[in-house]
Amino acid sequence: MTWTSKHEIIKTIQVLVVGAGGIGCELLKNLAATGFRKVHVIDLDTIDISNLNRQFLFRKEHVSSSKAEIATKVVKQFCPDIDLTFEHGSIFDEKFNIDFFKSFEFVMNALDNKKARNHVNRMCLAANRPLIESGTSGFTGQVQVILRGRTECYECTTKETQKTFPGCTIRNTPSEHIHCTVWAKHVFNQLFGEIDIDDEVSPDMKAEGQNEAESEESANDSANEEPTPIGTRQWAENVKFDPAKVFDKLFLMDIEYLCRMEHLWNQRRRPKALSFSSASEDNGKAPVQFEQALKEATSIWPLSTATSVFSECVRALSAQVSAHPDLRLSFDKDVPLIMAFVAACANIRAQIFGIPTKSMFEIKAMAGNIVPAIAATNAMVAGMMVTEAMKLAHGLHELVQQSHVRLIPSIVGKVFYNETPFPPNPQCYVCSEQKEVIVYVNPSQMTVHGLCEKVLKNELNMLAPDVMDNASSRIIISSDGDTDDLLTKKLSEVSIEDGAILCCDDFQQDMTLRLFIRQQVDLTGDEFKVERTEQEKPKEPAEEKRKRKSGHEGDEPEVKKTKTDEAPEALQVINGNAMD
């Protein structure tokens, strides 16, 4: 086959790109330059000013516009003959169903969060379409080609906690606690440390619902007619670092401004602004004293305590900076005062966005483990993705490779290396023939709501699960809402005890799995443990004969720390709160 004929094939291939951010911008440019002419891109996010330093398709006048829309327009400017279409929406939308995925030859992921990656992985498996997965973390990155039945899928192995996060998510639309933790570190730097424009924490005052025409019009106005935005530190200095006023700026005024950006909340939960006075009262709960709160590092502070800690930290840290005008503090997770400030900020913001709060101990672990995004790494990974895409376009599935970008060159000076994809994990509950998961809970404390939201949706990444008790054939969770009256009940109250087997079905993902319930009495509330490695499963006869009684301590798993030369740790402990 000649190069010309190969190029003609590439022109006809239908490609789906999910994500138009850091990697997505580079990827769309590469696809257009390589000769792909039928591309569809999906992205829910809008452009934030912090994106401009590494997402080269966007300019200042594009701030607050759809990433997918602007990326499409800009790519068409330098490649007019490309049939590039876009959707400004969530990949979780029901319209992006299995038939939608089947309309493409393959899918390319340029996403920034694990939940969306898991979902696209499952949809591609269900539609039997190849998936080119990608990711970066600082100076390292990788590309993985996923072929159903031939290579491991995205969920065949346990993934490390994400360490790099998009600025627009941090500033405007956090969905996980780690987003709030990163934002809290930025607040610390803005108030007391070295100011970095990429660490700005307030919403962009020029971004409220402007369309492109409005942006161009405002850009043509005289600079003298526009007020100069005031920085967070200057604002705090103007109010003499008054804790109540700083609190209201961060958690009331800025949140109210965010709420007015209607385009952000079309498919997201709208945040609820908090004033200093209401947070201090917290339904009459008395705040724990500052010194005592620091001692309770493993406890989750109530809102009133977090507010009190915030106030004390602002007073103490601002006093240090005021005493030495040239002093710029740097984040150190081992300095109690600094860590307390970050923990308080993160938890207050989490409450505002409806995200479960965490202890200072947990936040400390997250805050010290964050890596910045690097534009060059995104570009290299996007290039490797197109290399694999060309193999798929020509049907050379046997030649696909898993590619990596190294932080440190190899002994021969290489920063890239490839390896043969691993085969599917026979124990994977997503792509294996027997989709089974063992979960340890305390049935007398975990609620049906906790099982649905924390285990099935958050941990196992199901979208709209329907759950049936295998022994009684009773539906305990319905995606249609027919069982909402059961959500507040404990598992034991709906006869789900040790040894129960639950059949869990997700129609949207075309996924069915069996959930084996085991009891562990030292778990509280909605805490649970998921067993990841192959273990002896409860047998059907025992399940049919089981007695609905409390379990015994002898049934509890022994959790041990693993050594580096042993198998991966079998159990993952997840902390949950009943009925968020």
Task: Tell the burial category of 223 from Cβ atoms under 10 Å away from its Cβ (0-12, 13-18, 19+).
Answer: exposed
Phi, psi at residue 229, to the nearest 5°? Answer: -60, 140
For residues 99, 104, 105 and 107, what is the CA-based torsion angle, rounded to 10 degrees? -100
Active site residues: 168
* Beta strand pairing call for 131-137 and 140-146: antiparallel
Query: In whole angstroms, what is the distance from residue 110 CA to residue 132 CA?
Result: 9
HEC profile of 313-351: HHHHHHHHHHHCCCCCCCCCCCCHHHHHHHHHHHHHHHH
Across 158-189, b (16+ Cβ under 10 Å) vs e yields eeeebbbbbbbbbbbbbebbbbbbbbbbbbbb
In single-letter form, the type of residue at position 447 comes to T
Neighbouring C-beta atoms of residue 139, cutoff 10 Å: 16
Phi, psi at residue 90, to the nearest 5°? Answer: -90, 135
Across 542-579, b (16+ Cβ under 10 Å) vs e yields ebeebeeeebeeeebeeeeeeeeeeeeebbeebbbebe
- DSSP assignments along 408-471, one per residue: S--TTS-SEEEEPPPPPPTT-TTTSSS-EEEEEE-TTT-BHHHIIIIIIIIIS--SSEEEEETT
Query: In whole angstroms, what is the distance from residue 543 CA to residue 535 CA?
Result: 16
Task: Tell the burial category of 194 from Cβ atoms under 10 Å away from its Cβ (0-12, 13-18, 19+).
Answer: exposed
Strand order in the sheet with 131-137: 83-87, 38-42, 14-18, 106-109, 131-137, 140-146, 402-405, 416-419
Partner residues linked to 573 by β-bridges? 529
